[in-house]
Amino acid sequence: MKKKLDVEKMTYAVLAIACFFIFWWFITTFTPAKETTPGPVEVIQLLFTSFFEPIGSHVITGHLLVSLRRVLVGFSVATVLGIVLGVAMGASKWAEAIFKPIFELLRPIPPIAWISLVILFFGIGEVSKYILCGIGAFTNVTLNAYTGAQNVDPELVGCARMLGTSERDIFFRVVLPSCTPQIFAGMQVALSTSWMAVLAAEMVGAQEGCGWMIQRGSDTLNITLVMVGMIVIGCVGMLLAAVMRVIERRLCAWNIMES
Amino acid sequence: MEHHGELTPIISLRHVGKTYMSVHRSNEVVRDVSLDVAENEFVVLFGPGQCGKTTLLNLIAGLQLPTAGEVYVDGKKVEAPGPDRGVVYQTTALFPFCTVMGNVEFGPKSRGVDKKTRRERAQYFIDLVGLQGFENSYPNRLSGGMRQRVGIARAYANDPKVMLMDEPFGHLDAQTRYMMEAELEKLWQKEKRTVVFVTNNSEEAVYLADRILILTNTPTHVKEEVRVDLPRPRQYSDPAFLAIRRRIEELCDDTL
Ligand SMILES: Nc1ncnc2c1ncn2[C@@H]1O[C@H](COP(=O)(O)OP(=O)(O)OP(=O)(O)O)[C@@H](O)[C@H]1O
Ligand SMILES: [Mg+2]
pLDDT tens digits along A207-226: 899 999 999 999 999 999 99
Q: What are the extents of the domains in chain B? A: 1-80+200-256
Q: Is B91 in the pocket of ligand 1 (CB under 6 A)?
A: no
- Using DSSP's 3-state secondary structure scheme, residue A202 falls into coil
pLDDT at B85 over 50: yes
> Domain for residue A30, yes or no?
no
- Closest to A36 in 3D by CA, of A216, A221, A220: A221
Vertex B81: Cα angle to B75 and B85 (nearest 5): 60
* Residue of B126, B113, B138 lying closest to A163 (CA atoms): B113
Cβ-Cβ contacts under 8 Å between A and B: the total is 66
Q: Is the CB of B51 under 6 A from ligand 1?
A: yes
Where in the sequence is the domain holding A151, given as residue range(s)?
Answer: 39-258
* CA distances to A209, A213, A215 from A219, in Å: 15, 10, 6
Type of residue at B251 = L
Beta strands, E only, B39-84: 42-46, 68-73, 76-77
DSSP B184-209: HHHHHHHS--EEEEEES-HHHHHHH-
pLDDT band at residue A243 using 50, 70 and 90 as cut-offs: very high
The average confidence (pLDDT) of chain A is 90
| Nearest CB neighbour to A158, from listed B63, B107, B139 | B63
Could you tell me the CATH number of the domain that includes residue A214?
A: 1.10.3720.10
**Is A111 or A96 the better-scoring residue by pLDDT?**
A96
Instruction: Give the ranges where A151-175 is alpha helix by DSSP (H).
Output: 154-162, 167-170
User: Interior CA angle at B131 toward B129 and B135, to 5°?
Assistant: 130
Give exposure, B160-174, as e/b (b: 16+ Cβ within 10 Å): bbbbbbbbbbbebee
Contact B97 A164 (CB under 8 A): no
Q: How confident is the model at residue A4 (pLDDT cuts 50, 70, 90)?
A: confident
**Mean pLDDT across chain B:** 91
Higher-pLDDT residue of A23, A256: A23
Task: Give me the pLDDT at residue B95, please.
Answer: 96
Measured between beta carbons, which residues in chain A are less than 8 angstroms from residue B97? 177-178, 180, 254-255
Q: Does the pLDDT value for residue B53 go beyond 50?
A: yes
Q: What is the pLDDT of residues B138-197, one digit of tens each?
A: 999 899 999 999 999 999 999 999 999 999 999 889 999 999 999 999 999 998 999 999
Contact A129, A195 (CB under 8 A): no
Residue with the smallest CA separation from ligand 1 atom 30 is B50
CA distances for A220 relative to A215, B79, B150, angstroms:
9, 75, 68
How far off is chain A from B110, nearest CA to CA, in Å?
5
CA distance A244 to chain B (A): 19
- Pairing relation of β-strands B85-88 and B76-77? unpaired
**pLDDT of amino acid A2:** 67
CA of B52 to the centre of ligand 1 (A): 5
Spell out the residues 6+ positions from residue A170 whose beta carbon is closer than 8 angstroms to its own.
A157, A160, A161
Pocket test for ligand 1, best of B55, B166, B214, B215 (most atoms within 8 A of CB): B55
Check whether the bond before B231 is cis (ω within 30° of 0): no
Ligand 1 pocket, B49 CB below 6 A? yes
Percent of chain A with pLDDT over 90: 67
Give the residue from B80, B65, B2, B81 showing the smallest Cα distance to B39. B2
Residue type, A38: P
Q: Is B54 in the pocket of ligand 1 (CB under 6 A)?
A: yes
- What average pLDDT does this structure show over B224-231? 93
pLDDT at B1: 43
> pLDDT at residue A233 above 80?
yes
Helix (H, G, I), strand (E, B) or coil at A148: helix
Asked, for residue A1, whether it belongs to a domain, the answer is no
- Counting Cβ atoms within 10 Å, is residue A174 exposed (0-12), middle (13-18) or buried (19+)? buried
Q: How many structural domains comprise chain A? A: 1
Dump pLDDT digits (tens) for A45-90.
999 998 988 888 889 999 999 999 999 999 999 999 999 999 999 9
Residues of A in contact with B73 (CB under 8 A): none
| Atom nearest to B58 CA in ligand 1 | 18
- What was the pLDDT predicted at B5? 47
Distance to chain B for A168, nearest Cα, Å: 10
Four-residue CA torsion sign, A92, A97, A102, A108? positive
Could you give the angle at the alpha carbon of A142 between the alpha carbons of A139 and A148, nearest 5°? 140
CB-nearest partner of A177 from B82, B97, B154:
B97
Phi, psi of B70 (to 5 degrees): -135, 150
Residue A91, in any domain of the structure: yes
User: Of all residues in chain A, what percent carry a pLDDT higher than 70?
Assistant: 98
Residue A158 counted as domain residue:
yes
- DSSP at B220: B
Q: Indicate the pTM of the whole model.
A: 0.83
What ipTM did this prediction achieve? 0.87
Compute the distance from residue B154 Cα to the ligand 1 centre, in Å.
25
In CATH, the number for domain B1-80+200-256 is 3.40.50.300
Q: Say if residue A94's pLDDT is above 80.
A: yes
For the stretch A97-132, pLDDT in tens is: 999 999 999 989 988 888 889 989 998 889 999 999
